[in-house]
Amino acid sequence: MHFKDDLPSKSQIFDYWKDHLDQVGFLIDWGSPACWACGFHYGTKYDVKRPDVGWDKILQCWNNIPLQRCHITPRSLGGTDHASNLFLMCRECHDLTPNTNIPEIFFEWARRQNSDAREFSKILVALESFGIGTAAVEDFLWVMVSEEFRSWMRGKFGLHRPQSKYAPISSRLTTATTVGLAVHYWRIHMTSPKWYSTKTRPKKWLAA
Ligand SMILES: [Zn+2]
């Protein structure tokens, strides 16, 4: 961190890894601006697949994506600042990554990260904080994506500026905010359970 400016740029790191990612077991769409470990996606705002521009411009786009340059083997354990020892990850993965001088451990961990599964586990923990057990999780997922709940929660929450680095983006709804509101909403409306519709069921969470 102290010598951040000495590190290769994100585009240089990408330029190196685009030919090496498959060798360490990663199938990554290089045109997708996502965390290489968990797949957290930054959306079309940073879309690097622009057919109207040349390779140089596409390469430069990687510098704009808010991914972090993470040492595979940390500098304190003899890791270098070469692109081959740097990996592009979201801030949350960067904070959670194992620090050893055995790259296999890093890659094994990174291959198993999944942003959807991670968000789902945060929802489970938050639900538990409000006294909701795992048996009711599916019901609450339905509540949280329902139009009725979404419109009810409007004006009842604020975006949270992270106090730590444990957030992939700068400001967001904390899981406890959404879950807390959903539980509160459910307690108010539980007598007439018509607040969710089957077509908005969040498949990606349920599959996790
Ligand atoms: Zn990540």
How many C-beta atoms lie closer than 10 Å to residue 1's C-beta?
7
Residue 186 CA to ligand 1 center (angstroms) comes to 32
pLDDT for 186 equals 85
Residue 178 CA to ligand 1 center (angstroms) comes to 21
User: What one-character DSSP code corresponds to residue 198?
Assistant: G
pLDDT for 162 equals 57
Residue 68 CA to ligand 1 center (angstroms) comes to 9
Of 93, 89, 84, which Cα lies nearest the Cα of 69? 89
pLDDT for 207 equals 42
Helix intervals (H) in the chain: 10-17, 55-64, 91-96, 103-111, 115-129, 137-145, 147-153, 175-189, 203-206
Residue 87 CA to ligand 1 center (angstroms) comes to 11
Name the residues around ion ligand 1, CB cutoff 5 A.
35, 37-38, 40, 89-90, 93
Q: pTM for this structure?
A: 0.74
pLDDT for 112 equals 94
Domain boundaries, the chain: 4-111, 115-206
Residue 180 CA to ligand 1 center (angstroms) comes to 25
Residue 67 CA to ligand 1 center (angstroms) comes to 9
What would you measure as the largest C-alpha separation in the chain, in angstroms? Answer: 62
Residue 181 CA to ligand 1 center (angstroms) comes to 26
Measured CA to CA, the distance from residue 24 to residue 114 in angstroms comes to 17
Please list the pLDDT of the chain residue by residue as tens digits (208 residues).
444 568 999 999 999 998 898 888 887 777 777 899 999 887 766 666 666 777 787 788 888 888 999 999 999 999 999 999 999 999 999 999 999 999 999 999 999 999 999 989 999 999 999 988 888 888 888 888 889 899 999 999 877 665 554 444 445 678 899 999 999 988 887 654 444 444 444 444 444 3
User: What one-character DSSP code corresponds to residue 79?
Assistant: -
Residue 89 CA to ligand 1 center (angstroms) comes to 5
Residue 33 CA to ligand 1 center (angstroms) comes to 11
Residue 21 CA to ligand 1 center (angstroms) comes to 16
Residue 117 CA to ligand 1 center (angstroms) comes to 11
pLDDT for 111 equals 94
Is 70 in contact with 89 (CB distance < 8 Å)? yes
Q: List all residues 6 or more positions away from 149 whose beta carbon is below 8 Å from its beta carbon.
A: 143, 181, 182, 185, 195, 196
